[in-house]
């Protein structure tokens, strides 16, 4: 069976921080024994300025029925700079509730990111991500607590824990088409192999976020 989903998204930011061009919303899916090659890329632009670009390539594995682990390599290009390696990231997702058993599906994610530059700080994160389904609507929210470590801070500066809360709303119009804040899809070419993809065009809701952000993600599951 083939399934294609597309989306047009609107991104809002309450705080001054904004997500990177290749960031995405975590979904509560843990598939035991499945392996996955994951590619993400994105570009963002502030007004008439140059674009920021980012990409990530990862390998994931459903190690147990309740644990998914994935390793990423990340690249980034800032305005007026060359593309350079940015960081390694190791993520782990843990299934806390049985899928579909309760009104809300809960998962927990932990991650650690080691940068490729000795002058940059490393980062750790932990937090829950949930999914609620109601009729044709699907709601997803991540609550992530992030803290930097490693590189020496400027004199007088203190490390702090920050919270991010990416989200999405999806409307299942029909099996072949869904739209909302993010779009997700899966193509099944047979032999227990799948290609999953999603794409989003995000428009700024305030001055703190880029005017336009284009993101895409493709996963090969086997």
Express each pLDDT in 156-186 by its tens digit.
667 778 888 888 888 776 655 556 655 445 4
DSSP letter for 78, please: -
pLDDT at residue 8 in the model: 42
- Please give the average pLDDT of every successive group of 10 residues along the chain, which has 222 residues: 38 44 74 88 74 89 94 87 89 88 89 83 91 86 87 69 83 63 50 66 57 68 68
Question: pTM of the predicted model, to two decimals?
Answer: 0.71
Q: Do 170 and 138 meet the contact criterion of CB atoms below 8 Å apart?
A: yes
pLDDT at residue 180 in the model: 63
Q: What share of the chain is helix, strand, coil (3-state, %, to 5)?
A: 0, 60, 40
From CA 128, how far away is CA 76, in angstroms rounded? Answer: 27
From CA 84, how far away is CA 118, in angstroms rounded? Answer: 14
Domains of the chain from N-terminus onward: 2-221 (2.40.128)
pLDDT at residue 41 in the model: 85
**Residue 45's CB: how many other CB atoms inside 10 A?**
18
Contacts 24+ apart (CB under 8 A), 94-101: 94/30, 94/66, 94/67, 95/28, 95/30, 95/65, 95/66, 95/67, 96/128, 99/28, 99/29
Residues 6+ apart with CB under 8 A from 166: 19, 23, 24, 25, 26, 141, 142, 144
- Residue 221 sits at the vertex; the CA angle it makes with 215 and 222, to the nearest 5 degrees, is 165
- Residue 81 sits at the vertex; the CA angle it makes with 113 and 9, to the nearest 5 degrees, is 65
pLDDT at residue 14 in the model: 38
Give the three-class secondary structure for 145.
strand
Buried b (16+ CB within 10 A) or exposed e, 22-38: bebbbbbbbeeeeebeb
From CA 124, how far away is CA 114, in angstroms rounded? Answer: 9
Residues 6+ apart with CB under 8 A from 153: 121, 159
Query: φ and ψ at 34, to 5 degrees?
Result: -80, 145
Nearest to 121 by CA among 161, 83, 81: 161
Give the three-class secondary structure for 202.
strand
Express each pLDDT in 80-114 by its tens digit.
778 889 899 999 999 988 877 888 888 999 999 99
pLDDT at residue 154 in the model: 63
pLDDT at residue 205 in the model: 53
């Amino acid at each position: 069976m083939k399934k294609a989903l597309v989306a047009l998204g609107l991104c809002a930011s309450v705080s001054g921080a904004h997500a990177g061009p290749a960031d995405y919303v975590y979904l509560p899916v843990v598939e035991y024994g499945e392996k996955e090659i994951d590619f993400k890329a994105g570009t963002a632009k502030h007004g008439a300025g140059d674009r920021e670009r980012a990409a990530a390539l990862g390998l994931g594995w459903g190690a147990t029925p309740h644990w998914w682990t994935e390793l990423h390599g990340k690249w980034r290009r800032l305005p007026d700079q060359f593309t350079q390696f940015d960081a390694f990231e190791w993520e782990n997702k843990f299934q806390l509730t049985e899928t579909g058993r309760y009104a809300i599906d809960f998962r927990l994610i932990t991650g650690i990111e080691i940068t490729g530059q000795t002058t940059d700080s490393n980062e750790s994160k932990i937090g829950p991500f949930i999914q609620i389904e109601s009729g044709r609507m699907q709601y997803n929210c991540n609550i992530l607590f992030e803290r930097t470590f490693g590189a020496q801070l400027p004199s007088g500066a203190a490390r702090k824990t920050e919270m991010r809360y990416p989200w999405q709303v999806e409307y299942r119009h029909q099996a072949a088409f869904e739209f909302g804040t993010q779009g997700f899809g899966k193509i099944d070419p047979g032999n227990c192999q799948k290609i999953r993809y999603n794409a989003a065009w995000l428009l700024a809701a305030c001055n703190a976020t880029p005017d336009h952000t284009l993101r895409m993600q493709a996963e090969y599951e086997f």
